[in-house]
A and B are shown apart, each in its own frame.
Chain A
Amino acid sequence: GAGVSQSPRYKVAKRGQDVALRCDPISGHVSLFWYQQALGQGPEFLTYFQNEAQLDKSGLPSDRFFAERPEGSVSTLKIQRTQQEDSAVYLCASSPARGGTGELFFGEGSRLTVL
């Protein structure tokens, strides 16, 4: 399909391991967002890219979290030295519009469980 694709769908990591989560946005979408969704909660903003530029990373919870989108398409969210509190679903969304206006198209998420 032509939707937002995220991989892996499920990831189990031991505490202290590094993980990388991938997002393939809809082709041609300028904006890309990462959100964190804890169980039973709403999505919490992590970071925003416009093309390859990371314009807002105010939601990243610590310096263990790092995101990149080097060619303005695929994005990777990396979490170093994972902790149990990092367990959540990580959602990626893309949009043809700049900024948070207009419809965000979400992927199905990557569920991270840290043991």
Chain B
Amino acid sequence: QQQVKQSPQSLIVQKGGISIINCAYENTAFDYFPWYQQFPGKGPALLIAIRPDVSEKKEGRFTISFNKSAKQFSLHIMDSQPGDSATYFCAACGVASGNTPLVFGKGTRLSVIA
């Protein structure tokens, strides 16, 4: 059973547009939700992360929105650029419950076209 469900599988966005990727989870013990960015041939790199005590976190053009009651969180990329073209993974783990390992979604391949 997949612990973190991510959608869409792929996304094409015009340069300057908004990219939105969604994730849903079931395990209520999860309390740490990072997003990772991966370029071809490279390992994933942390982009931004949120804990459930806030509903939104913004860093530059990247924003995480978190809905605890719905057990959903999303990544918004404002003013998307061709350099943002990569695969994005949402992830989750439980810290307070004893550090369950970080589990990843299946990824969203983003293509930003000029």
Interface residues of B (CB under 8 A from A): 6, 32, 34, 41-46, 49, 89, 93, 95, 98-107
Contact = CB atoms under 8 A, between A and B. Distances in A.
Given A106-B43, A109-B43, A42 B99 contact: no
Contacts of B43: 4, 91, 93, 106-109
Given A42-B6, A99-B95, 15 more contacts: A33-B102, A35-B104, A40-B107, A41-B106, A42-B104, A42-B105, A42-B106, A43-B104, A58-B101, A98-B99, A100-B32, A103-B34, A104-B46, A104-B102, A109-B43
A33 B89 contact: no
Contact of B101 (A41, A100, A108): A100
Interface secondary structure of B, over-half rule = loop
A48 interface: yes
Interface of A: 4, 33, 35, 40-45, 48, 56, 58-59, 91, 93, 98-101, 103-104, 106-109
